[in-house]
Every structure is written in C-alpha cells, then in structure tokens.
Chain A
C-alpha cells in the first residue's frame, strides 16, 4: 500500500536500528507524548529493536485516558435522561467512570450513538428536533478544530437542540508541568505528529529554550519513529537540544493557522483536571460566552463530582512516566482491557492497554 509500505519495510527499518545501535553511547530517556505513538511503537514491535541505552516512556497523550472519572460519570448520568441523545467517538463508549460506562447506559435504555465526526452529531440533531443531541467533546488539538467548525455550523444553521459537553484539552500545558517534575528526568520528547499539524513544530520552542529538552516531531510509521529517536539521541548526546521536525511531509513550523483561528473563535482556555495528573492551569477549553448556549453544562443542571483514583492503581505514575504498567499490582489481573480499572487501560491508546495487548516478550 502506497505511503505505508515505504515507511514500514524491514529493509529500511533495519538500516535505522543499526544506525541507532552504533550511535547510542549513553542512557537517553525519551517520552513519547502521544497515545497513537505508544500504540504504533507496540504494534510494530519497535521497543524490542532499540538499544538498551534508549528508554521510552509513555506520556499522557491519550484523550480518553486523561478524562477524569467524575466527567465520565456525568456523561453517563446525562445519557440516562430521556430527553438527551448522546453522540460520541467510539473509544469513549467502554470507559467506566466510578460506576457504569456509556455502553452499560445504552444497554439500560439510553440513546448513545457512535459518530465518526461531530458533524454527524449535528445531522442527528436535525433529524431529532424534539431531543437534545449532545456530543461528548473529548480530544486534543487534533479533534478540537472539527468540533469548533461544527459549533459554528450549528450557529449558522440555527440548530438549537445541539450541544457539546466540553472536555477538550490542549497539549503544551501538561508537557510543561511534566518536564518540571523532578521525578521524571526526561531528556527528550517524541512530539505528537497529529497535534503538531495544528500547533506547528515551533510550539515546542519553549521546551528547548526554557527547559533544555530535546524535541523532535515524529510521524507514526516505524521509520518515522526510528528516525525521530535517532535525531533525539543525537541531540541529547551532543548536548544541543533543538526543535527538529521529522514529520515534515505534513507538519509545518507554524502549523494550521486557520484551524487554530476557528478554535480560538469558539473556545477559550480554562483550568482543567487531568486524570492521574491533577488540575493543570489553562490546559482545557470551554466555549466562549457567545457560544455558551451550545454548552450542555450551562444548559442543564449537571454535577461533576471530583473522584479519586481506584485503589491500588498506578495510573497517576504511569501517565507521568514514573512507573511502567508491569509495576502496577493490579495490571493484568484485576485490571484488563475487558474490565479496566485505571484510565490507562480503558482506551485502546492507553499505555497499559498497549502493554497488555501487544505485550512484553522479554
């Protein structure tokens, strides 16, 4: 398959792993921020190709995983209301809060629909004028632009029975919080490819200049990832941290300015709680006053009860890269993809789910 085979072939991959082997002379700790990177690394078996000195740590880049369980409880409670139709991306549906998941709510009679785009939710609102169609707005910079465009479209078409439940988050604030964590000691970041399409590679400049962290924007195929790890190892070993873009076929320095403008029109930053990480200043998004009528939390009485993490679960440390899934006492026994306990197991992109699914063969 074109544009895939060229980036996966074993002949290209083995060249890169050989280069990495000869290059690596000291221990380098790299955090892959994005959940899709985590999955790709596991899916293609990249972890086992790396030299011992290169250590990969999975970061907080799975939007489902970092949504607090109190918010998920509120989704489920909302789904149970007879006047509400819930629309959501697929991988949110199995995530348990402190009680049930949306899938269980659907089994109990709630109207819960998987959509591929928030625009589909808007179409559903038009088809069901006597219901309030709510889109569960979870995601990072990659999904927020389409959600913003949907809000603008709803306003233009005056579709008043459409709302979102805003739970969007942005990437730079948690990165800043994480690298300041003295326990973490990360040398470099494998920066998220999709997020960078919107934010631009220059958005990581502050990490280099203020925090001396190597930053390389990476694509998602095996050669993309290996090439980016090589770039990171070089930067760290030569002690010259910089922003490098190894995903230049889609990422530009300035990013997608138009998409960011649409987001800024509709949303504004707000302090936000991250599951496992706590509240991070200005790391979430809420609708601007002008579009407040599309915010279900302002339209209906909705309570978000703060909740603590389940007993025994190490997800807080795993999301910060301090612990690895096998360190957790409940990993693989009480907590599995079939009945997840902690946030990192709930989404297919979660670190624990990746370890469980693709395994550690060592």
Chain B
C-alpha cells in the first residue's frame, strides 16, 4: 500500500479496489458491506423509518478525546436517536485530499470500526472520492443513517409543553472548547476532551421506560445549547427558562471559556442530549439518565413555561435574568 493517497485511489479502478480491500474492508466487517454491491439490501422492519445525514469537516481531524471518524459515526447515530429511533445502519462517504497520509486514514477507519462496534450500528455501504491537493482539507466525511421508530414513539419539538422539565445529560461545551483550543494551539491546561459518544442507548431507555413522557430530545451540537433551545422556543412559541447554576460544566471548560471570552451556551457538544419531559416523573427520568455511563452527570436545568413566548430566558448565577438568543456567526475571541 502507498504511503499517501493518490488521485488513482478515487479512480474506481485497481487502486480504488486495492484501497477498499486492504484498508476499508479490513476493519469494516459487516457482511452486507463486504458484498461490495451497488446498494446495501436490508430486511424491512415494522415501524417507521428515520433517516438522517451529516457531513464532517472538523479541523483538526485528530483532537483530544477522538477524531473525525468516530465523530461521523456518533453524530449521525445521535441524530437518529434524538427522534427515538433505533439506528440500524450507516453509509460512509469519504472525500480525501490527494497526498493525505494513508496511516492517518487507517487510524480514522479503525476508530470508525470501533465506534460502529460499540454502538452496534454497522456501515453497510460506502463511497470514496479523491480530489487534487488543495481542493479539500485532508479528509471530509459524510455519514447517513437509517433507524427504526417503533410504534407509539413520537419524540419531536412540537410535543414540548408548558410545565415540562428541561434535562441535560452531562457537562456543557466539552467538544467545542476542545476543538477551538486545539485548532488555535492554545495551551489552556486541565484535561480538555471532546465528549463524542453515541446517545442511542440512553435515548432508548428513556423512550422505553417513560412512554409518552419524553416529549422532545435534541443533541446540542453546532450552535450549542443556546441555539437548540432557541429553535425549540421559536417552533413551539413556548418559553424555555434555564438556570445557569444548574448547568453542569467541567471546571477546566469553564476556565477556558472565561479566558477566551466564549459563551459555553454556544459551543458544540457531541455526546450530550437535552430532554424535555413531563414533570410528573422528572426525578425518575433524571435517575435513569444518571444510571447510564453517557448520562452520569445529568441534571435538570430548567423548565418550559408560557412566560415569554418564543424566548429562552436564563437566570444567571448572580440572580439576574437575561435572554438567550440563537448564535449568529462563529464564536470569535474578542479584542480585550
């Protein structure tokens, strides 16, 4: 195998076959994928289909706590999970830059395979293209996923109701701050790590154990919790009231945000789930979330009301109140 990706590897000819055989299929072992047919054929299942797609262009491609490969697997699984679906398969589309190191590609494919194994969701179809040097940045990944929503499950922003509790499955802004600091080469100290992980196990236990009570689930990725809550507030015309004090955050993430002048409410999360649920069993729902490894730091962070229609209102640690608007533009560090 060559050391670097060549244009030939995307030609569809022998070099492509070699790359598929000696690298992709070495790690991605699903029998449907191994058939190398034009389309994956899977048995039809009862229920509704959930279908989602996402592209991953993160820079740097390797970061503390993960890499672009597992991010691409977990990200699409999470989008399916947030609708209460059981993810069943993924597609994997790669756009590689000519000259990209094969060793790095191998490392990424390995972690894609590991993430798929952990989640129990296989890659069943794939595609690779190579573009000339400078026309892409090392590697871009697209994953699409299909999931099954079993009868009776209906999780959507439209089901949010006044009185619902707002829960968050763990600490805020871990991924966003890790990417920003590693991209800028800033040494902030502490142990900043991306939180990339699949949420479908957690989501499944919630929708199964509390049928009808889990109204809305969202993973606050790009745009952060602030933007996600704003979207729900706008869609429903309800007011999302959250408590700054109640939002779990790692001390080093808080410190890094303070130092860089960034608001953690607008930074990305890649393994956190926000849940709007009926208040009757809020404590039990919280316990269920806390009993899972991905939700052990879960907390109730607020409540849905009708107070300020379509708005998100934050009570600050100082006891003041303010609006939380959706993010506009990338978060940028300030002059002073």
Contact = CB atoms under 8 A, between A and B. Distances in A.
Interface of A: 1, 4-5, 8-10, 13-14, 36, 42-49, 63-64, 89-94, 114, 116, 138-140, 142-143, 194, 222-223, 336-338, 347-349, 356-359, 361
Contacts of B320: 13, 44-49, 222
Nearest to A103: B329
A237 to B, nearest CB: 24
Q: Which 7 A-B residue pairs are closest in the complex by CB-CB distance?
A: A45-B320, A359-B323, A90-B332, A10-B319, A222-B318, A338-B328, A90-B333
Contact of B318 (A45, A114, A194, A356): A45
A198 B308 CA distance: 43
Contacts of B325: 356-359
Instruction: Classify chain B's interface size.
Output: 20 to 34
Interface in B295-336: 308, 311, 313-323, 325, 328-329, 332-336
Contacts of A48: 320-321
A89 B321 contact: no
Contact of B258 (A1, A90, A93): A1
Contacts of B319: 10, 13-14, 45, 49
B186 interface: yes
Contacts of B318: 8-10, 13, 44-46, 49, 222-223
B335 A64 contact: yes
A49 B318 CA distance: 10
Contacts of B12: none
Contact of A1 (B251, B263, B328): B251
A14 B311 CA distance: 25
Interface in B139-197: 184, 186
7 contacts: A45-B319, A46-B318, A90-B332, A94-B332, A114-B333, A356-B325, A357-B325
Contacts of A92: 335
Interface string B247-258: 000010011001
A138 B336 CA distance: 10
A173 B132 CA distance: 55
B295 to A, nearest CB: 24
B177 to A, nearest CB: 14
Nearest to B329: A94
Q: Which of B184, B245, B318, B320 has the most CB of A within 10 A?
A: B318
Given A10-B318, A13-B319, A337 B328 contact: yes
Contacts of A348: 332, 334
Nearest to A337: B328
A114 B332 contact: yes
A10 B335 CA distance: 29
Nearest to B308: A361
A356 B328 CA distance: 11
A42 B323 CA distance: 9
A336 B336 contact: no
Given A1-B251, A116-B186, A142-B336, A361 B322 contact: yes
Q: Which of A90, A93, A140 has the most CB of B within 10 A?
A: A90
